[in-house]
Structure 1
Amino acid sequence: MNAYFDIILRSAAVYVFMIAALRIFGKKELSQLNTADIILILLISNSVQNAMVGPDTSLWGGLAAATVLFALNFGFKKLMRKSKWFGNLIQDKAQVLIHNGKLDFKQLSELDISNDELKEAIREHGVEHFSDVKLAILEPDGNISIISGEARLRQTHFKRKHNRKNLTAL
C-alpha cells in the first residue's frame, strides 16, 4: 500500500475516533480546561501521532496527516451545517437548566453541575438569585448562558470552571 495513502487512512480513523470520544464524554468537558485537561490533550496528541503517521516521521508524512485532519474538519463542519441529522449526531444540543426561576434538578444532576457552580454562573451574569433568572442554558460549547427577567438584559460571558489563577497572571 502507498505510504501516504496509509497515513490518510490512519489519520482519518484517529479523527473519527476523537470526534466520537468527545461526543461520548460530553460538552461539559470542552469548557473545563484545567491543568489535567491540558496534560490529557497533550498526551492524547502524542499517543495518536504514531497511529496516524506510523513509521513515517518525515516532514511530508506529518504534512500529509495534518492536511487530512484539516480537510476532515472542514468537511465535518460543512456536513454539520447542511445535515441536521449529522449535526445532531456530532454535536450536543443546548440544555435548559433554569426556566422562569425554576431549577431543573434532573438536568443539573445528569450534567453534574453543582449548585455552587450554577450560583457562580448567575453571579457572573450580574444576577443575584435563581428566582431572577428567566432562562439559564448550558450551550453546546459548554458555556452557561443566563437571561435575567430584568428589562435591561446584561450580556456577559461565563466559562465553566475557569481557573482564577490564570486570570490574575494576565
Structure 2
Amino acid sequence: MKMLFSDWNTVFKILIVGSLAYVLLIIVLRIFGKRTLSKMNAFDFVVTIALGSILSSILTSRDVTLLDGTIAFTLLIFLQYIITKLTIHFQAADKVIKAEPVLLFYKGRFDFKTIEKERLSEEEVLQAVRSKGLATMDNVLAVVLETTGSISVIQNSSKYPENSTLKNINKDHF
C-alpha cells in the first residue's frame, strides 16, 4: 500500500512546492531571455535535462528544499547565459561549445563520408529536400546539417548569392 500512497503531507508538499517551483522556473527563464529555450544544440539539451532533473528533485526529495532548487535553477540558467554570451563574443568559445554546421550535399554532390560520420542516411537528406516541396536535387544548391541537428535545404536560384548563407560552412572537400 505504501507504494501507491505514502501520506497526505507528501501529496501537499508536491502540490505546493511543485507549483511554486514551476512559477519560479518560469520567472528565472523569463529573466534570462528567449535564448534559454531556443532550438537546442547539444549544450542546450544538457541544460534542459539538468533543469528537469532539478525540478524532479525538488518535487520528490525530502532533502532538497524549494530554496535549494531555486538556487540550482538560477545558477544553471545563469551559467548557460554566461556561456552563451561568451560564444557570441569569442569565436573560440563558440567552437568549443557548439558543433559546426556541415554540408551534406553541395552543387550536385552528396558527401557520403560526412553523412555517415553524422549518423544520417541519404534517405534522410532526400526526405528533408522533399519536405521543402522540391522534386529533384537539380533544384538544390546545398543541404546543411545545422548545429541544432535540423537539416536546411538551400534552393538553387539566381536570386540568392551563393555565399549568403553558406559563408560560415567549410566547402573545401567539394
Q: Aligned match of 1:76 in 83, 93, 103?
A: 83
Q: Which amino acid aligns with 1:67?
A: T
Q: CA deviation at 1:129?
A: 2.1
Aligned to 2:146: 139
Determine the C-alpha separation between the residues in 2 that align with 1:49 and 1:86: 31
Query: What is the TM-score normalised by the length of structure 2?
Result: 0.56
| Residues 46 and 69 (structure 1), Cα distance of their counterparts in 2 relative to 1, 3 Å cut | closer
Gap regions ≥5 residues in structure 1: 1-21, 31-40, 154-170
TM-score with structure 1 setting the length:
0.57
Q: Which amino acid aligns with 2:119?
A: D
Aligned amino acid, residue 145 of structure 2: L
What is the RMSD computed on CA atoms of the aligned residues?
A: 2.8
Conservation of the 8 A alpha-carbon contact between 1:80 and 1:87: yes
Higher helix share: 1
Q: Mind listing any 5+ residue stretches in structure 2 that lack a counterpart?
A: 1-41, 161-174
Aligned mates of 1:73, 1:46 — CA distance in 2 = 16
Larger Rg: 2
Find the counterpart in structure 2 of residue 124 from structure 1.
131
Query: What amino acid maps onto 1:81 in structure 2?
Result: I
Q: Distance in 2 between matches of 1:59 and 1:91?
A: 32
Q: Alignment partner of 2:153: what SS?
A: strand
